[in-house]
Amino acid sequence: MKRKIVCVGNLVLDEVFQVASLPASGIKTGVLAYEKRYGGPAATAAVAICRLGGTASYWGRVADDPAGEAGIAALRQHGVDCGGVAVLPEGRTLRAIVMVDARGERSIVSDRHGLSLDGSVLPEDRLDEAGAVLVDSRWPAGALIALDRARAAGVVTVLDADGGTTADNQALIDRADHVVFSSEGLRDHAGEGSPEELLRQCAGDASRVVAVTRGSSGSLWLIDGEIVAVPAFRVDVADTTGCGDTFHGAYALGLSEGRDPIAAARFASAAAAVKAQRGRGWDGMGDRAAIEAMLASGAVHPV
């Protein structure tokens, strides 16, 4: 039986607008379709893990409001253990506006200030039986506590590094075993330069695995001083929303199942590709058979 992966971070109510093209400044754009659905880095990663046959627990916080209640219900419907969710009496459940164009590309405006950032609301559950702990950088106080507890328990840790202040991110990086940046997150943290140079700049401890995801350009991994490129799979893209979060969840699951980082990255790349191909929020997650079929296809972009 696979051990549970604990996912620590944000749950977000997404308002998704389908548009013909992403608007430039000062332009009015008509909406082709609209829906509400749930996202958030750690919550989406937990759903991906469960969809792939793993076991996931989500540790986060929501407000005592209809959005928070419905978000917890949606997670449970997808098989996620929500025993570690704190329901806060003040504030409002986090929200985001997502615009998705005809090519599946998206722009996101996130409200990350609706809830207290206090990390003391994390549950006291033991972590020594966890297969991995995955944290996102959008709730740094909770992530810091979870990473410290995981290290004390000898549990492997994965950081989804995308957003947050430089100081908060550095504190998280210093505590994580595996750090996976988005392209934007890497630039925000390390500045301008080639991805290879920036990864080396961020690595610090030589034993730490540091990587950056780059959409259809695949991902780059710094492992034991060497840069390794992992290609992305070629698919017709419906919606890229949540693909990075799916990648992180599948990567943590791959590690917990004994895959080495590059094998786990290929597994995660296939999971993200299936998600991009299907769209549909959490309902578009691929199962294990879909990911294995994607891996077997060998249809990757050149690196």
| Contact present, 44 and 96 (Cβ < 8 Å) | no
Q: How far is residue 48's CA from residue 46's CA, in Å, rounded to a whole number?
A: 5
Instruction: Report the sign of the C-alpha dihedral through residues 198, 200, 201, 203, in that order.
Output: positive
**CA count, 13 A, side-chain hemisphere, 185:** 25
Tell me the whole-structure pTM to 2 decimals. Answer: 0.94
CATH of 5-297, one of 3.40.1190.20, 3.40.50.300, 3.40.50.2000, 3.90.1150.10: 3.40.1190.20
Per residue of the chain (303 residues), give pLDDT as tens. Answer: 457 999 999 999 999 899 999 988 888 889 999 999 999 999 999 999 999 999 999 999 999 999 999 999 999 999 999 999 999 999 999 998 999 899 888 888 888 788 999 999 999 999 988 999 999 999 999 999 999 999 999 999 999 999 889 999 999 999 999 999 999 999 999 999 999 999 999 998 889 999 999 999 999 999 999 999 999 999 999 999 999 999 999 999 999 999 999 999 999 999 999 999 999 999 999 999 999 999 999 999 887
